[in-house]
């Protein structure tokens, strides 16, 4: 698989687990951020850990958020993971008044039932494209995205309610769950994405 990636370090992401998984899969990557931004020549992975507001504050350093938006809007393949998916949206209940990247229309809402955060394995089912396999993946999330259009939902899952577990629109793909912590299923999903953007 001849794909080299740019792995963003500017979003409080769990770079260690993602980088170990990519290394194990034999996928070359370089670390990028506000000080050494990507140039659009490689697909981008944005992992995010922590709070929506803090991640957006980090991304806005040196206007890195604008760099990401410009590259995505001009066609650079993009994969968001966890909060790296949530910041694609317009806003989040976690950080009222803080604008997200606005690359996917919709909001991020808090689970209001069950144990919050949801931690552990949960099943995902493809929503609009049956060529993506269903299976169990690992989640750690208190909030979930609610896209304005169901057409961008790649996967649904259920935690006291049906929620969007992944989105895909044009060159944007994003997972609420952690593929790097989801064993063989997670690696197959990463491989599928890498194959699609190669």
Is position 178 annotated as part of the catalytic site? yes
pTM score of the predicted model: 0.95
Tokens 């080299």, residue located: 4
Q: Rounded to 5 degrees, what angle do the CA atoms 25, 5, 104 make?
A: 110
User: Is the confidence at residue 100, as pLDDT, over 90?
Assistant: yes
Predicted pLDDT at 49:
80
- Which of 82, 91, 94, 164 is catalytic? The answer is 82
- Which two structure tokens, joined as six digits, stand for 1? 């698989």
CATH 3.40.50.880 fits 5-197, yes or no: yes
Predicted confidence (pLDDT) per residue in 26-58, tens digit: 999 999 998 899 999 999 999 988 899 999 999
| Region for 187 from its dihedrals, namely left if φ exceeds 0, alpha if ψ lies in -120 to 50, beta otherwise | alpha
Predicted confidence (pLDDT) per residue in 52-75, tens digit: 999 999 999 889 999 999 999 999
Predicted pLDDT at 102:
98
Predicted confidence (pLDDT) per residue in 171-198, tens digit: 999 999 999 999 999 999 999 999 999 8
- Which of 63, 69, 180, 187 is catalytic? The answer is 180
Domain boundary assignment for the chain: 5-197
């Amino acid at each position: 698989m001849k794909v080299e990636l740019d792995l963003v370090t500017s979003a409080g992401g769990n770079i260690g687990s993602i980088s170990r998984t990519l290394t194990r899969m034999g996928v070359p990557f370089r670390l990028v951020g506000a000080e050494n931004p990507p140039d659009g020549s490689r697909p981008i992975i944005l992992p995010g850990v922590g709070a929506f507001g803090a991640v957006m504050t980090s991304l806005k350093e040196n206007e890195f958020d604008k760099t990401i938006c410009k590259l995505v809007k001009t066609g650079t393949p993009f994969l968001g993971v966890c909060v790296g998916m949530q910041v694609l949206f317009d806003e989040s209940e976690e950080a009222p008044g803080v604008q997200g990247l606005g690359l996917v229309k919709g909001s991020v809402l808090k689970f209001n039932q069950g144990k919050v955060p949801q931690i552990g394995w949960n099943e995902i089912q493809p929503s609009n494209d049956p060529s993506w396999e269903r299976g169990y993946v690992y989640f750690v999330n208190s909030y979930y995205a609610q896209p304005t259009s169901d057409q961008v939902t790649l996967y649904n899952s259920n935690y006291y309610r049906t929620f969007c577990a992944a989105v895909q629109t044009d060159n944007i793909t994003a997972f609420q769950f952690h593929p790097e912590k989801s064993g063989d299923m997670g690696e197959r999903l990463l491989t599928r994405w890498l194959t699609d953007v190669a």
